[in-house]
Structure formats: structure tokens, C-alpha cells
Amino acid sequence: MRRLCALALVLLAAACATPPAPPPPAPLPYPPSARERLQRLAMAEWQDWGCTTSGLPGPALAACAPVTAARPEADPSNFPRVLAYWRAVPQTEAAIPRNRALYARALGGEATPLWAEPFWSAAFISWLMGAAGVDHVEFAPDAAHARYLDHLDVLAATHPRTAPFLPRDPAAYAPEPGDLACFDRSRRPLARWADRASERGQFRPMHCDLVVSTGPGVVEMLGGNVNDMVTLHRAPADAGGRLLPTPRRFLVIMENRLGRLPPWGPVPIS
């Protein structure tokens, strides 16, 4: 009887075990036009938000002629802009109904915290990728930076020859236009990106910007929800073009290989 009970427990445990997640589909290479379009879209959004900058003082390397005066997210004129970003991610239930109600009140003349919550920076990056024509297999849009980074990390590990992005150590790699520069915003930040694998799939507050230009001592990157708008951040870099660890300590650079994989060009796997 005891043997039968033990066997039943073993069978029950086996039945309840969660099957391993299937590997992601193999990503496809993209032409250079996708990378170029990504950059053009990012620059156009910065222009529409008023060409604001943060970080290092001095004129931006990236040229920008503002379409209008800079207005923060709470200005009713920006309602459709941020709405478009949120429509690019699957997690719309918490953001859109709440902010539609705030927008209706703002139209009546009431001062409202329009688009203050939830944060929309990851939705902005997701919108850029989708609008540039990058499919969900190659970039899984998400309202959290950590989750779309997890997807890119898995693709890099399982399909290193065709992965659209590869994780790079900020201390060893000089970012280029098109790359994603990401840092950890949590109270207990990860020491290195490899540590993320043990908690993959869990939420972690992070932020990523799209690199748009580089120059001596500076890396310029565009991000959403920075000072309540799309802002160009000028981050300090060393003589080799690598990002310095202050004031932001970048955790990972996702090297953008759109338009650089065969048949458009070989990329070393390392």
C-alpha cells in the first residue's frame, strides 16, 4: 500500500510539473532600411516634442528643428502621441481607460496628471520598433523594458547568428546609433546583466534609450517619459566611446544588428 501511495505521489508530481517553455522562433534578418527608419522615426518624435535635451551641457550633435514649443505629457495636445505609444504594447488595460478619463476632464479645463501613470518609456521604444517594421518575433513589445530585454536576450542565446540584438557590456563596448542603452532603476540594481537570467520574466524597473549619435566624450540617446516628454539625453563617454558609469550606471547595451546580418552584411559572432 505504501508503495502504491508513493507511486501515486510521483505520478501526481510529474503531472503537475510545468513543461519547459518552447524556444522562440528563429528571427529573420532585416534590410538596412529598417534601421534607417528606426532612426528617422525617433528623430521625428523628438522634433514633435520640442527638441529638449538633458545630461551634458552644450549643443546636441543631432540636429533638431522643433515643430512646436516643448510641452509635457500632461498637455492635452500630447494625448494622441502617448496614446499611440500605448497602443503598441499588449498592456493597455491599465493605461488607456484611466488616461482617457483624465483627458476628458482636461478638455473641460481641469488640470489633470495626464499620462503620469503608468510610465510610458517602454511603450515608446516598443512603438518605435513596430513603426520601423520590426515584427514581434524579433522584438516583443512590452510596457516594461525588462520584459522586452528578456526576449532579446533569449533570442541572442538561442539564435546568435540571426539575433537582431546582442547584449554587450557597457564597460567594454562603445554604443553606436541604433543600439539600446539600458540601466536598472530598482533599489537593488543588478551588478551585471548576466544576473538577470535567474529572474527572467519577473518585473524589474529599468529604462532604455535609443542611441542616435556619438561624438568625442558624448553618446546621445532618445528616450520617452524623460522629463515628461521625449528627450535627448547627452551621456558622458570615455576616449574610446564607452559610456561612463556616472551619473547613470548602464547595465547593458543591446547592439542593434538590423541591416547588418547576411545577406546585407556579415557580423562577427562574439
Can you give the pTM of this predicted structure? 0.90
pLDDT of residue 197: 95
Q: What is the pLDDT along the chain (270 residues), one digit of tens a residue?
A: 455 444 444 444 444 445 566 777 899 999 999 999 999 999 999 999 999 999 999 999 999 999 889 999 999 999 999 999 999 999 998 899 999 999 999 999 999 999 999 999 999 999 999 999 999 999 999 999 999 999 999 999 999 999 999 999 999 999 999 999 999 999 999 999 999 999 999 999 999 999 999 999 999 999 999 999 999 999 999 999 999 998 889 999 999 999 999 999 876 555
pLDDT of residue 268: 52
Name which of 209, 211, 163, 216 is nearest 182 in CA terms: 209
pLDDT of residue 199: 96
Cα dihedral 220, 216, 206, 267 sign: positive
Please state the domain extents for the chain.
25-256
